[in-house]
Amino acid sequence: MNVFEQRQRRLQAEVVQRGWSGFLITQNIDLYYYTGSMQTGYLFIPAAGEPLYLVRRSLVRAESEASASVEPLGSLKTLKERLAARYPGLLDAAAGTVRLATELDVLPVQQFQRLQVALPGAAWEDGSLLIREQRMIKSPDEVAAIRQAASVVDAALEAAIPSIREGMAEFELMALIEHQLRLRGHQGLMRMRAYNSELITGMVAAGASAAVPTYFDGPAGGTGLHPSSPQSSGRALLQRGEPILVDIGCSIDGYVIDQTRTLVIGGLEPELLRAYEVAEQVLRATEARLAPGTISEHLYLLALDQVQEAGLSAHFMGYGDDQVKFLGHGIGLEIDELPVLAKGFKYPLAPGMVIAIEPKFTFPGRGVVGIEDTYLITEIGFEKLTISRGGLIVI
């Protein structure tokens, strides 16, 4: 039994435990996670019986990749009939309420309504949290891909640093980094689950423009090149003495790494330098508590206490109404996975979790400073997966 079949079995066990008749997986990333293929269609995990991958396009590709039985999707008008024939009694309302789960966090309403028509009488429940919790624990192969991504990010950053110069445009620096990442295998895309959230390579911006807020749920925004893409690198020119925030990722075999380094041409002014040092202190204090059993929320609350003691609460993870309320986040196939290091998230850390921790400080009109590393929780503590040199990088 391969890893995809094992994941199907784990999900099926939960379907049985929760009294569901089945789980209909619709989202690309979830389809890949459970089948090894990312073709348009639905994966049906029944409470009893073998999973079925119903594919609209490309059937040929799915048949060659997927670790599941594959059939053409056909018309949704025949979906109930086909499922009933394959799983006798499973969708029989006479035997009790037919309860089906799906990922309501990402499924478009229009598509959901079509499924309601196709499977009349079914009671639909949100299974998205279950999916995200199962994906929270990474296998050795998943961790290996993230390690490789970390190595690529480090090599790309080091290759780009010698070209950084005063007067260079932010987008030019971003292009240099992206070029180096792609040469080393970055797929050019980092996925996010959150609605209307987009991210390609990360956020590279300097000085005042880095501190310009935007819709993206992060402590630094960036002007972007146009209001139609209002984040990350813009046309501002790098200036001596201002912080250059290089918050970048990379995706290898679908799995992402996330890291941030602060660079400067010359040196930082004292207040920004002190804030950067506090960011490193927060990261080190958080590292010291990375162990199985630590509650994710507690790491965020302890960081808030540390920042308050340093007198920098007003600048932590953004500024004013644009402050974000987290310290870190899980990563894997998506960059916004569980667990989140934030208030209200009670997950105890467990071996196999991969978490990016990113203490940053935002100063409007002046810039953003901070650091971010990605960690694997192990049986005895943690392993730092990011390998780029730490500390303020002076050009």
> What angle is formed at CA 195 by the lines to CA 214 and CA 35, rounded to 5 degrees?
135
Coil, strand or helix: which one is 321? helix
What six digits make up the tokens of 168? 């260079």
Round to whole Å and give the CA distance between 100 and 107: 14
Bond before 51 cis per omega within 30 degrees: no
Backbone angles phi, psi at 191, to 5 degrees: -90, 150
Q: Strands across the sheet with 69-72, in order?
A: 69-72, 52-57, 40-46, 22-25, 99-102, 123-126
**Per-domain residue ranges for the chain?**
3-134, 140-394
Round to whole Å and give the CA distance between 380 and 219: 31
| C-alpha separations of 164 from 62, 87, 90, 220, 346 in Å | 44, 61, 62, 21, 42
* Closest C-alpha to 272, from 326, 329, 210, 204: 210
Q: Tell me the angle at which helices 28-35 and 3-17 cross, rounded to the nearest 10 degrees.
A: 110
Could you please report the per-residue DSSP string of 197-255? ---SSEEEEEHHHHT---SSSSS-----SBTTB-SS--SPBP-TTSEEEEEEEEEETTE
Mind listing the pLDDT tens digit for each residue in 103-137?
999 999 999 999 999 999 899 999 999 999 999 99
pLDDT of residue 96: 67
CB atoms within 10 A of CB 378: 14
| C-alpha separations of 201 from 56, 215, 253, 383 in Å | 30, 17, 15, 24
The CATH superfamily assigned to 3-134 is Creatinase/prolidase N-terminal domain (3.40.350.10)
pLDDT of residue 206: 97
Mind listing the pLDDT tens digit for each residue in 308-335?
999 999 999 999 999 999 999 999 999 9
Pairing mode, if any, of strands 123-126 and 40-46? unpaired
By 3-state DSSP, what share of the chain in percent is helix, strand and coil, each rounded to 5? 35, 25, 40
Q: What is the mean pLDDT of the chain?
A: 96
Do the domains at 3-134 and 140-394 have one common CATH topology? no
Taking the mean position of all CA atoms in its chain, how far away is CA 199? 10
pLDDT of residue 89: 86
Q: Is residue 118 within 8 Å of residue 77, measured between CB atoms? A: yes
Bond before 251 cis per omega within 30 degrees: no
CB atoms within 10 A of CB 41: 25
Residue 121 backbone class (left: φ over 0; alpha: ψ -120 to 50; beta: rest): left
CB atoms within 10 A of CB 215: 12
Chunked mean pLDDT (size 10), the chain, 395 residues:
97 97 98 98 97 97 97 94 91 78 98 96 96 98 98 98 97 97 95 90 95 92 93 96 97 97 98 98 98 98 98 97 97 98 97 98 98 98 98 97
Which residue type sits at 328? G
Round to whole Å and give the CA distance between 366 and 281: 21
Backbone angles phi, psi at 344, to 5 degrees: 95, -10
pTM (predicted TM-score): 0.96
pLDDT of residue 92: 78
Q: Is residue 177 within 8 Å of residue 155, measured between CB atoms? A: no
Q: Is residue 257 within 8 Å of residue 150, measured between CB atoms? A: yes
The CATH superfamily assigned to 140-394 is Creatinase/methionine aminopeptidase superfamily (3.90.230.10)
* Closest C-alpha to 339, from 349, 255, 294: 349
Mind listing the pLDDT tens digit for each residue in 217-237?
889 999 999 999 999 999 999
Identify the helix (H) or strand (E) that includes residue 124: strand 123-126
